[in-house]
Amino acid sequence: MLVLVGVIIGVYLFSPPTVAVASITTSLPGCPSKCGNLTVPYPFGIGSNSGCSIGPWFDIICNTSFNPPKALLPPDLFSYSGGLHSVEVVDISDEHVRIKNSISSNCYNQTGGLVQDVRSGLTVYDSYFTLSSEKNKLFGIGCDDYFFFHPVQGIEGKDFTSGCVSLCKDVKDVISSTAAPPCSGTGCCATSLPTGLKTYIASQFTLDSHTKVWSFNKCGYTFIGEENAFDFRGASDLADPDFVNRIASTVPVVLDWVIGSTSSCDDYKNTSDYYCQDNSICVDFKGGGYRCSCNKGYQGNPYLSPGCYDINECAADSNNPCDGTCTNLPGSFNCSCPYGYQGDGRKDGSGCTTSNNSKSPALKLSLGLGFGFLSILIGMGWLYFIRHKRKVIKLREKYFLKNGGMLLKQQIDSNDGGDGVMINHSTKIFTTEELEKATKNFSDERVLGRGGYGTVYKGILPDGSIVAIKKSRVMDDSQIEQFINEVVILSQINHRNVVKLLGCCLESEVPLLVYECVSNGTLFHHIHDENGAWLSLENRLRIAVESAGALAYLHSAASKPIIHRDVKSANILLDENMVTKVSDFGASRLIPLDQTQVTTLVQGTLGYLDPEYFHTSQLTDKSDVYSFGVVLLELLTGKKPLCMERSQAERNLATYFLVSLRKNKLFQILDPRVVREGSVEQLQAIASLVSRCLNMNGYDRPTMKEVAMQLDALSL
């Protein structure tokens, strides 16, 4: 009898039951689920105001005049390039909607004449869709071009311009993505998108109208699209007449979608706008809104009633998880072994094996093994903790040496003549713990700003003083000695109009710099984002005099000449008394006393960048003079140095000013308040000084000391 029972149990053990799995419903009852080759899952629905979607912003228009039919987004919610024409959908997933692309292009003839000018863009008029910053990038294709994208003003709550440059002199220099890092700036460049962007306009500009590369590159292209879908093919892309159609068909734009436009899951629960059904979880979306997702062990459409249904793990013959008896549970399953067998019953565990031992010895053995294993785990935990602590200490020592800690100590000793950690009795070497505590472990809520060279955090030191802590993105090992020298030099700068360097930390992966905190924002913010009521001509000239004096000090009065290299209104800060503070020396270079120029990789900000430095890579103190000329022009006109919204002739402020000056139209470009408050002679003298600063030949520009002296005389 026992043998018969064992046989029956064995047959049951290795023959798990088969249960039919329910089909997954994707759309509301009575509503179509496909448009051509596209599956349209709820909360999306096919038809305008058909009741098949959650709301009109999730309606999909199925145009059957095409074969196969095309799925389109509502034309009153989406548009390309400013026109309210339909946007085609190629894929809908749990988190994203992929749409067909729009390409911007400029093409030229052999003499540099513009034969094609197409600008692309996208506008989303609701709050449920945003461009995916994780999936998309801006791509620029060409050998004589620089590319930009910016939001549509009046719709987007952001105001910025971002882009990249792609240059090459010979077709042999152009390398495809398979042979080099993708879009690294030779024939193709790329840049990331900010989070939460809802609109964009993409455009490109040329340096020499493609006349030098026309034989192999007649056009420049730019577009925003899915990063993983684009593969740069090298020189063949530059000459492909079908490039625009190929990109439009193969590289989609990815949109993030959410339910609800603001707030979070907790705010929507218990309201009519909460759509997560049974056995699903609500997930907050950064920026507002939410999505629904089935709980672990469940599947289906979480937006459709009655919700997600249990996955019967025991129903699959080939993928049954149990080696013994499988019992399906809500959202899970349980494996067990029949009488006469032992183990956990799982295929990925110990399974089921026959046992000849009595229960009691097996129980004792199990308890003994369990306690022994627990003791081993506790011991290993202590060993891991001790080892991890030692590893952290060694890692910080490694970073300290890597970041030039010994070199800095030598500099300290030579400056202080002692063993302390102070340079000139004011600059301190901070520990990692001090700065982590001051910034709440570099929390996002302490971020003051992000730039091309790193992120600036607000820090509160134990004595209550507020500082700005700059965390660089990367540190070039070959530049360690220069970085340490720069720290020492900047720590010795004592000028009321230069942001003071208070100290540094070398124990982290990248060095951290600690500056005094300047609380009243940037000059750029006050000129362009505020009403600027306090910006009288007197105050504008005072700011110009203070900034020029600080730059003149850096160029000539510091122990070693310092070229700022990124002079712009966004790097000129104002304190609580509206006193000027020149900041952000992330791109600055120290110039040996026996040299007047150095050769560097071109860095700076478009609109402020010295054209002579851009073309020759020869950096001199006159490069700062050009950039300051643009800042001075910005103060006088109240206009941005580079603005894609202005006409072609007015986009570059420096060029527009010089042309206006030659045509005797100076007073038409100046800010009306400046014209009212200044005399004709004073404004003409300032304009003449700006013109000299913007001279294309750096040799003919004045020095910063001359600029400061002339401005000081004109402000009286």
Please give the positions annotated as active site: 566
* C-alpha torsion 232→238→240→244, nearest 10: 70
Rounded Cα gap, residues 117 and 107, in angstroms: 7
671: nearest Cα among 627, 714, 635, 706: 635
Angle at 120 between CA 117 and CA 123, to 5 degrees: 150
Rounded Cα gap, residues 10 and 358, in angstroms: 20
Residue 425 backbone phi and psi in degrees, to 5: 60, 20
Rounded Cα gap, residues 297 and 308, in angstroms: 10
161: nearest Cα among 170, 148, 172: 148
Residue whose token pair is 């124990």: 507
503: nearest Cα among 422, 576, 564: 422
26: nearest Cα among 36, 18, 38: 38
Peptide bond into 75 cis (omega under 30): no
Which tokens belong to 145? 């071009």
Query: Are 608 and 627 within 8 A, CB to CB?
Result: yes
Q: How far is CA 81 from the centre of its chain?
A: 24
Span between the terminal Cα atoms of the chain, in Å:
116
Give every CB contact of residue 615 below 8 A, 6+ residues apart in sequence: none
174: nearest Cα among 132, 131, 223, 236: 236
Rounded Cα gap, residues 133 and 123, in angstroms: 16
Rounded Cα gap, residues 42 and 125, in angstroms: 21
453: nearest Cα among 573, 586, 569: 586
Give every CB contact of residue 113 below 8 A, 6+ residues apart in sequence: 209
Which tokens belong to 528? 């362009």
Angle between helices 537-552 and 704-714 (to 10 degrees): 150
Q: What is the DSSP letter of 576?
A: T
Residue 208 backbone phi and psi in degrees, to 5: -125, 25
Run of H or E including 448 = strand 447-451
Report the DSSP beta bridge partners of residue 63. Answer: 70
68: nearest Cα among 46, 99, 37: 37
Within 10 Å of residue 378's Cβ, how many Cβ atoms? 10
Radius of gyration, CA atoms only, the chain: 33
Question: Buried (b) or exposed (e) across 222-253, using 16+ Cβ within 10 A?
Answer: bbbbbbebbebbbbebbebeebbeebbeebbb
293: nearest Cα among 248, 259, 319, 341: 259
Q: How far is CA 95 from the centre of its chain?
A: 20
Alpha helices in 621-663 (DSSP H): 621-637, 653-662
Report the DSSP beta bridge partners of residue 514. Answer: 469, 503
Angle between helices 621-637 and 537-552 (to 10 degrees): 170
Q: Which amino acid is at 337?
A: C
Rounded Cα gap, residues 591 and 385, in angstroms: 48
Query: Are 344 and 326 within 8 A, CB to CB?
Result: no
